Structure 1
Amino acid sequence: MTFLQQSLYLGFVISILAYLCGVWLKKKLGWAILNPLLVSVVLVIGFLTVFGIDYKTYNSSASVISYLLTPATVCLAIPLYKQLELLKKHFAAILTAIISGVFTSAASIFAMSLVFRLDHGTYASLLPKSITTAIGMGISEEVGGMVTVTVVCIIATGIFGNIIGETVFRILGIQDPMAKGLALGTSAHAIGTAKALELGEVEGAMSSLSIAVAGILTVIAVPLAVGLI
């Protein structure tokens, strides 16, 4: 076993450096496709392949990052607290928007599963795709989905939403900051919220709220929808 494979915090160091490299590239070139998370995934895979390090070794030394996932998500409540009055004023509209987003996500997965004749396990794995990983993993396991597939879909959904979100708003002429934040948070969870925070404080607050509410609604909706296929 090589020194790299024996390093206790190998995965942690690789992950952080890869992400920082992604952040630098995004700032340097400004391309939407250079999402830091996407860049870091590619870099980590490349590093592990070149040095012949297996996933189990990498994962065991990077697991400390997983412990930071839940507190990092909770911290997103800070911008929401700053916009509390806005939330109270438009509570009905905000709740309606989030419910619509959750329903649309579940309905699209159901329709796609019918069209492509997906089996029950794959269908169950895809249903939590638009909520944060911390919640989605638990739901997937509970309803008989494949947790690994769910995690991949959640990450892919978030990255895709982060990349195309601003372009979609421009094409559709969406200018309201609340609408932007709600759309990003409901469809692309925490990674979408990172984009929302870049757009503005109101966008970030609404996106943060969407993560929590959409997560709760999905916990309720998935067990009901999973029996349809």
Structure 2
Amino acid sequence: MFRDRQDAGQKLGASLELLQLKDPIVLALPRGGVPVAAEVAKALHAPLDLVIVRKVGAPGNPELAVAAIVDGEPPDVVLNREIVEAYSLGDSALRVLIAQERPELERRRAAYRGRELPLSVAGKTVIVVDDGAATGTTMKVAIRALKRRSPRKIIVALPVAPPETVDELAQEADLTICLNQPARFRALGYYYGNFPQLSDDEVIDMLTLAREDRRSAAQTRRSGAMAMAKSRHDAQS
């Protein structure tokens, strides 16, 4: 059991600290992954951003994903080829289905990021975080899209998931860390003492605070470096 998402993030952060990762960047799956990822980013002194995934439903069966769109410049489209073939969807039909979901992806991007550009993951150690995973489908899509963006490596970090899901994610990512792997997986909220639904406004507030913390820390480092340089100069004068 975790007290809440913050507690889960602190425990994940402590595990990841031991790895001494090079150039880490933390990406959260919104909404529930954001408070977990914010704590991981704090522990690693790493920037925090989002990976926004929008499912593209099959014709007449919107819960069955034929594809997913992953936010980026430009967005990535990841196909579920078995479902595409089962529905005999050609390129034109797929383009129509994908176009129908683009406005919601762009709405979420505008709501969560505002004018902030997504952080580049090229050459970085990317840590993808959620508050848990049942099937891991969204996480798999995120990993496959991120691989196209030339990261150094991709690490999945989860507080809880069933063992079979962890095994599947381990085949997609360079490293998968999951703190709790119950054999009989229940609803995700079962593993948290406090597991509220999060609003868009709460996500935006967490991201804004994380950016402000990073900017403040960067300014402190610059000021310290300048003070040290001045001290050396004065000593040599």
Bigger Rg, which one: 2
Which structure has the higher relative contact order (CA within 8 Å, separation 6+)? 2
- Fold-level match, TM-score > 0.5? no
Indicate the structure with greater helix content.
Answer: 1
**How high is the TM-score relative to the length of structure 2?**
0.24
Indicate the structure with greater strand content.
Answer: 2
